[in-house]
Each structure stands twice: as C-alpha cells, then as structure tokens.
A and B are shown apart, each in its own frame.
Chain A
Amino acid sequence: MISCSQCGTQNRDGSKFCNNCGTRLAPGALGLPRQPAAPQGVPGTSQEASIPEWLQSQSAVSNNESAALARPEENAQDVDSSAQEEYEMPDWLARLRAASPEEEPRTPSGDSANPGDSPNVSGPGNVPNWIKNLRDQEPAEPPVGPAAEEPDWLRQLRANATEQSPSPQAQWVTPSSPEGDGASSEDETVTADWLAANMPSQEASQAELSVPAFSVSADSGGIDASNLSDWCQDAQAPTAPSEQPAGEQVAESAATLEEPEPEQTESSGLGEPSGFGESSGFEQFFTEATDETFERSAFGEPSEVGTAASATAEQLEGLPTADLPDWLRAAMPTQGRGGLPGTGEPAVEQPSPGEIPTWIKALKPVELQVKAGRQEKPETSGPLEGLRGVIPLALAVTEPHSPPRMPSPNWHTGAGPLFDAILAEPREETTPRSSRRVRPVWTMRPIIYLLLALAVIIPLLVPPGLTAQVLSTPSASEFHNTLRAVPPNSTVLISFDYEPSLAGEMDLQANAIVRDLLARQVKIIAVSTIETGPQMAQNILVKAATGKNLRYGSEFLNLGFLPGHEAGLAQLAVELPAKDMLNQKLTNYPLTVNMKNLSGVALVVELAGSEDALRMWMEQVQARTRLRIAAGVSAAVEPKARVYRDAGQLVAILSGLTGAANYELLSNQPGLAVTSLNAQNAGTLVLLFIILLGNVMHWVSRARVGDRPVGTGHLPATEGQAQPPVETGPLPAAKARSGVGGREG
C-alpha cells in the first residue's frame, strides 16, 4: 500500500496517483537514488531519535522556508520528489507503518526525520501516516543521545557547520526557488531547439536537484570521510594539508563535503548563491569536471550530468551575470564569461542577451553544425519560395529550358544527306532467290575427278594382253621364291589381316598366293585378327579350291577370328585354337589332328592391310616362335615392312597391286591383278599430270600477284562507287604467295 503524501489515503501498490486527491504517487523512473538516511537493520538509526539535533535544526529551517512557499505550483517538484521517496520507501519503514495502522494521523510538529519530506508538508492534514507512526513510536524507542554516539570529530564537524551560516546551505539545498524557475522559463525563449532537445525534462531536473539535499544531509549526519568517493577526496586534498592533525583534517573534510558537488552546483545555481566560489580546490575540481562533461556532451555520450550542466548553463545565459554565484562564474569558460560588476574582473566578450555563447555553441551536435554550415540558397520563385535546401533538380525541371546545342562532329556531316538520298532512291524489285543465276565458281576439282575416272575405267575395258606391262620388282621375285621353297604337303599359315576396304588391293595378292600354294599341293590354314577377315579368307579359299577337288579340313582350313589382338596372337604362338570357324574341333580335321601349335607350320604369310597387324605378328609370334614369316602388304605399309625385311624378321614382302601382278606373272597365272595394274598405271600418270598442273597454276598466280603493286587494292573502283578499304600490310602478299583465298582446286 502506498500512502498519499497529501491526504494520507492508502493506495494500492503500483498506483501512480492518489485515488482521493489525485496527487502523483510515483513520478516514474527518474533515476532517484534510494534514501540513504537510515540503513536497514541498524537499531535505533531508523527512528527519529537517532537523528542528530543539528540535523533536526536544519530540517526545521528547511521546513520553515518551505512553508513560506505557499504556492503549490512551485512545490510541485518537491511533491514529486517526496512521492518518489515514498515509492522507494525501504522495507523497514514499511513495517513500521504497518505496525500501527489503526492510529490516526496527528498534527505535524514541524520536525521530521526525513528532511526531504518535511518541507513539502504544508498543512497539518498532509502529514502521512507513516510519519505519524514514527512519531508515535518515538517514546518506545530507547533514547539515543547524540553525545552518546557521535564521536568527537563529528561533534567538531557539527560545530563548524553551525558556525557557518546555515541559511545559505539551506538555500542551495533547497531544490527550487521562484527565481530559478523564472530563469528557466525565461531561457526557454532564447534556447535553440537542438539545445532544448538535450535539456532534461522539468521533472528530471528537479529530481536531480533534490538529490544533493539528501546526500548532504546524510553526509552531514554521520558519513565517514573514508566513505567519500575518490573525486570528493581529490577535491578536498588541496584544502587538507598533511601537516594538520587528523582531527582537523576530518573537520575540514566534513566542511568541504558541505560544499556543493557538481550536481549540487547546478541546483544551487537556481537558488540564491552563497560564498562557495572562494574555495580554490572545489573550483579546480568543478572546472575539470565541467570540461570533461562538456567533452562528453560534444561527443554525444549520454550523461545526465552533462545534460543537466548544458541545460543549466543555457538557462544561466538569460540571467544577469550579477545573479550568478561565484563558483559558477569560476566554472564557466573564460571566453564566454563576462566580468562581474563590483568584482573588478575585466569583461571578456560580454554576450548580448539574445546571443548564445560560443562555449555553449561548442556543445551543439556535430551533425547539426554541419547542416548549419551549409549555406543553402533560398528559393526565390515558385511555391517553394523562401525555403532553403530545396533540391536543385526541381529548379531545372519545373522551369522552361532547352538543352544546350552541341557542336556537330565532322565525321557525319555528309552522312545525313547521303542517308536521305538513299531513302529517296526507288526501291528495286527483288527477284526470288531461286531465279537468281549463281555465278559459277571456277574450280579444278571436277576436271581432276573426270581425268582420274577416265584413267582408271578405260584400262579396265582393254584386254590385258594388249597393254600389260608389268614392272618386275626384286621384292616380288624374292617373295615368289620364298613360297616356291615351301615343299608340297606342308602347311602354310595365312593371316588375312586387312579390312574389306583394302580388298581391291589385298584380295589380288591373296588370290595369287592361295592359288599358287594350292596348285602346288601346299596345305593352307587361314586365320584373321580382324572380325571381317575370316569371311574374306573363306571366300578366297573356297574360290581357289573350287574345281580342284580340294576339301575343307584336308587341304585348307579356316580358324576364323582370333580375338585379343596381341594376347590372341601370343596364345596362337603357343597353341592353336580348339575350334575352327565352323565351330568344329581341330582334332576332327585331318589337317590339324596332330597339330598342337605353329611348330608344324612351314611358313606364315601375313597379309597386312595396316602396320599394326604386321607389328603384332612381328612382336608376338615371330619373336616367340622364330617362324619364317613373309608379308604381303598394301603399298602404304611397304615402308614399314621394309624395315622388318631388312632386319631379317620378314623373309620376304609383297607390296601392293604391283607385287600382286608380279606374283601372277611369276606364277604363270595372270589374272585380275595384271588387268588392274594397267588401270593403276594410268591413274598414276594422271595424278602426276594433276600435280604438275597444280604447280603451274601456282606459279602463274604468283607471277600475276608479283606484277601488281602490293597494297594498291584488289579491284579497280568503278566510277560513282565507293572505293573499298585498301588492304595494306603483309597479309595480301602472304595470301598471294600461299595461294590462300583462291578456290583453284
């Protein structure tokens, strides 16, 4: 329950206003400290009897002065402070009030245990119940005399305090005064907005002003010097020399404590000043503290002291300088401080009443100073006339204007008329693409194709006996002699390792070899490392055996495809496959019934259409078995076959169609190879002619380009047409030399 300080009505906890009189009970979070008058748990200190007499006397004086302030409006802040103290009443005090709820309030006697409460009580009916309870319990408490508890130093301190005039202390302790309020209200008219925003509310200011009164009263009542804060000890240090006795130092310290703190200074500025400005130690401390506070305010740090100091200084600017106390004038910066009349102090830049001093301007926030530094041009026309800071773009948009004329460059001076002339020309009728005659491009390719085709076809139509001229080669003779050395009824292994695409060349060799071997009763076993080889071998064997009473399995045999490439050939060198092309076991044929490997083979004929097949036979079979291998190869493989021949790995080679024709002639069985050789010779002659023609065309073209000056253009410009860009540099000459760009072929 909360008791109203005005009417004494008990209100519920948490109530902000009295239900009876409407007096504010809880002014809100003002940051008021808890009343340090009576700590909890200390017997006797919570009673009125524990308050010293000097403090009671000061309270009486304060009550008298407060009673003189009859207007409740002026004491509104004090009421709020009392209500705040009531709101933060300690538990021990609440228990005391709860102990005697039935007692009626009595007429206040004017003395109060709490000096903060007593000044605000103006009438007898405004005394709260809990104060009355305290009074009622006073006789029950054991009397505690000040002389019995107070030490000597405290009595001396009190004596010194009594010797000093208590009235000024009471005046600055008094939280508010009519003069102060008047000055504050007066300053509001000259204070800038930004400064007013930084100023605390009136309640907060008054609450802060009321804090020092309690502190001073408590400190005066019995706070030890050791409990003082560091700043307070530093402030009293100059006034307490070490040569003095301890008792005197404590006394001076206590006297110094009675001097106002920075917060107390602010509050005292609103009241009547007294002679506190004579203390040099306090002045030094206050100057340092004030400067520090100003710096913190300039950097925007939140500080109640700084905010209060700013507000107080701003309020003081509107007051006559003579009304300021000495300590406050000493704390003010020299630049903005005027000389005090009567003190002989020279006046320094006495500000005018409506002018804000520079040291207060320094408190202005930085961002506002930046904004103020901009000299915005006021609007002189339009609906925004007289306003500053208007976006400049609006001026260019709203008012009529024309874009500036740019000087036209020279490069397109004649482009406009030319473009108009092109548009003015009559449009030509477009012809369909299909009806256009495409200019034929002269190339040699059809002529080459035609010449080659005629050279190959015509010799095939002529009987071979008329034009057959076969150039005998030593290699063919050697190959023929090698096969002739194979005795009859021996076995020759022929590997058909060429693709059907090479059948026109390799089949002629195979036919000549197979026919010759079968004619001499040499048995043939065919095999192939290419998937299409077995079928080609079968065709040749069957064709050669037809009409000669040769049986499959007795005179010839086809082992079929040998997979595995190198691995298959390596395995073949060790042992023969188990089955033939017809998927029959080799043991079922008389030719291979006793043959386990290639040891029974007299000769191996490798018909290789590619160099890989020949290499595999050389590496996997010839190197393992040391068999005699003769190779019939295509003309393209002849250079590599010659290497193996010269190395002795091949006993003989037969190359290309020429070798096949030679073999036919050597074996006295001319056939298709001899006929095809005439076509090949004709084709070779035509090819030589084409190569010669190509070189002639090249040299003629080069002679033409050489006669023409390089870099003068390709085509002469016709009259009335724009000349194409001249291609200069080494590129045209290089193109001419290389023949690139001309589709001559």
Chain B
Amino acid sequence: MKWLATAVTIGVGMIVLLDFFFEHPLLDAVGAVFREWTIILTGFALLLGLFNLLGVHLMRVVRRNEPGALYSAIVLVSFAAVAVLGMWYGLPSAEMGWIFDNIYLPLQSAFFALVAFFLATAAYRSLRARSIDTLWMLIAAVIVLLGQVPFLRVFADAKDWVLAVPAEAGVRGILIGVGLGTIATGLRLIVGLDRPHST
C-alpha cells in the first residue's frame, strides 16, 4: 500500500499547484477542499501536542522524585483551571480576557524583557575586537545602535545604509536559497522521488 500514499501525495500536490496558477472552478473547489482538510489536520496536531505536554508533565508529577515536579504540577493545575473556565464561560468571555490580560500577557512580556539584560551581557563579552572579522561586526553593531539614537543624524543614515545594502543583500540571498529549496523539495515530492509518507 505504499504506492497509494505516494499516489495521493502526487495527486494532491499537483491539484493544489494547478489551482495556484490557473483559475478554474473545479480546481478552485477541489483546492479549497484540500486546504480545509489541511486546516482540520492542523487542529488535530495542536490537540496532539496538548496531550503530549500533559502526558510528560503528568508522568513527572507521578514519579515525584524528578526535578521540576512542582512546576509540572503548576502546569497541570493551570491547564485544568483555564480549560474549565474556557469551556464554561467561552473563549471570548470577560473571564478569559482577564486571565489573558493579567496573567499570560504580563508573564510573557516580563520574560521577554529579561532578554534585554542577557543581550547586554552578551554584547559586553562578545562584541570585542579580537580579530578583523569581529572588528567588522563590532563596527556594524555600533553603527546600527547609534542610528537608533536620534541625536546624531549621520549615524541614522549610516544605519539605513547598513540595513539596506549589506544586511539586505545577505537576507535576500537567504530568502532566494529558501525559495529554491522549497521548489526543489516540492518538485521531488510531486514527482515521487521523496516519499516520506510511504516509508
């Protein structure tokens, strides 16, 4: 039955690809059905991830002697509370909004704010002119940082040049490479050279 999985992969890929390039009612309808199926499968993937997370933390709590069992218990209790409240009051309710605005959002913002301190320490230890390469990196970082500060206009222009020329050139090359890799991978899947679904 391996050929069936390969045939399904090739057929669906060809239909979606044709739907992208051509306007046809039948292709649009079939393509829309396939996209809806993909969305449903993505929802099941989220559900599977949730069960996996709960299983890992539940086993850690059951064993007790493992480090972090207390935090796992907090995760389980939090999950149970939010799930019960969400199913009881509904997702767009005021209760769920309160939990999000007063617990989830501040915690994530505070956690991300700590990154500024770690970045400062890393900049102190890493941005050192030990060689020519690190010197160039140090110069670029200083220029971009000074360009953020609205005191010296010359550094703002220098910052724009760094972002527009060297940085954009590198990013453009990366994006082109990603695009070519995506095309090659898609073609191999459609042609049947790669059959990860049937192995």
Give the interface of A toward B (CB within 8 A). Answer: 444-445, 448-449, 452-453, 456, 469-471, 473-474, 499-504, 532, 535-536, 538-539, 563-565, 567-568, 570-571, 574-575, 581-583, 624, 638-640, 642-643, 646, 658, 680-681, 683-688, 690-691, 693-695, 698, 737-739, 744-745
Contacts and interface: CB of A to CB of B under 8 A. Distances in A.
B187 to A, nearest CB: 16
B32 A448 contact: no
Given A567-B42, A658-B148, A694-B124, 19 more contacts: A444-B124, A449-B120, A471-B149, A471-B156, A504-B112, A504-B113, A538-B92, A539-B97, A539-B101, A563-B39, A568-B42, A571-B35, A574-B28, A581-B92, A582-B92, A639-B163, A639-B171, A690-B124, A694-B128
21 contacts: A448-B120, A448-B124, A449-B121, A471-B150, A500-B109, A532-B100, A535-B97, A538-B92, A563-B42, A563-B46, A564-B42, A567-B38, A567-B39, A574-B32, A643-B171, A643-B175, A687-B145, A691-B124, A691-B127, A694-B123, A745-B124
Nearest to B156: A471
A695 B171 contact: no
B39 A503 contact: no
Contacts of B153: 471
Nearest to A677: B150
Interface string B60-76: 00000000000000000
A444 B28 CA distance: 62
B100 A745 contact: no
Interface residues of B, number: 54
Interface of B: 20, 28, 32, 35-36, 38-39, 42-43, 46, 91-92, 96-97, 100-101, 104-105, 108-109, 111-113, 116-117, 119-121, 123-125, 127-130, 138, 141-142, 145-146, 148-151, 153, 156, 160, 163-164, 167-168, 171-172, 175
A431 B21 CA distance: 80
B42 A639 contact: no
Nearest to A685: B149
A681 B125 contact: no
A690 B128 contact: no
Contacts, number: 150
Most chain B beta-carbon neighbours within 10 Å: one of A538, A563, A582: A563
A501 B168 contact: no
A571 B32 contact: yes
B130 A452 contact: no
B163 A638 contact: yes
Contacts of B92: 538, 581-583
A698 B35 contact: no
Given A570-B35, A640-B171, A643-B172, A502 B112 contact: yes
Given A564-B42, A567-B38, A571-B39, A538 B128 contact: no
Contacts of B164: 642, 646
B148 A643 contact: no
A583 B164 CA distance: 44
Contact of B117 (A448, A639, A646, A684): A448
Nearest to B152: A471
Contacts of A448: 117, 120-121, 124
A738 B146 contact: no
Given A695-B128, A698-B128, A500 B108 contact: yes
A477 B189 CA distance: 44
Nearest to A558: B92
A658 B148 CA distance: 8
Contacts of A473: 156, 160
Contacts of B148: 471, 658, 680-681, 684
A414 B16 CA distance: 86
B163 A681 contact: no
Contacts of B117: 448-449, 452-453
Contact of A745 (B46, B121, B151): B121
A523 to B, nearest CB: 20
Nearest to A453: B117
Contacts of A568: 35, 39, 42
Contact of A693 (B20, B124, B130): B124
A478 to B, nearest CB: 13
Most chain A beta-carbon neighbours within 10 Å: one of B43, B111, B148: B148
B120 A687 contact: yes
A705 B137 CA distance: 25
A683 B167 contact: no
A75 to B, nearest CB: 95
Contacts of B119: 687
A582 B89 CA distance: 12
B151 to A, nearest CB: 7
B165 to A, nearest CB: 10
A607 to B, nearest CB: 16
B112 to A, nearest CB: 4
Contacts of B43: 563
Nearest to B90: A583
B109 A504 contact: yes
A715 B57 CA distance: 50
B130 A738 contact: yes
Nearest to B119: A687
B124 A642 contact: no
Contact of A694 (B28, B105, B127, B149): B127
A453 B108 CA distance: 18
Nearest to B173: A643
Nearest to A695: B128
A686 B116 CA distance: 12
Contact of A739 (B28, B113, B128, B150): B128
A646 B104 CA distance: 37
Nearest to B91: A581
A723 B171 CA distance: 55
Nearest to A688: B145
Given A532-B100, A698-B130, A684 B149 contact: yes
B94 to A, nearest CB: 11
Most chain B beta-carbon neighbours within 10 Å: one of A471, A503, A532, A685: A471
* A-B pairs, 3 with minimum CB distance: A471-B150, A564-B39, A501-B112
Contacts of A745: 121, 124-125
Contacts of B105: 500, 503, 536
A488 B146 CA distance: 39
A640 B168 CA distance: 7
Contacts of A452: 116-117, 120
A624 B20 contact: yes
Contacts of B35: 564, 567-568, 570-571
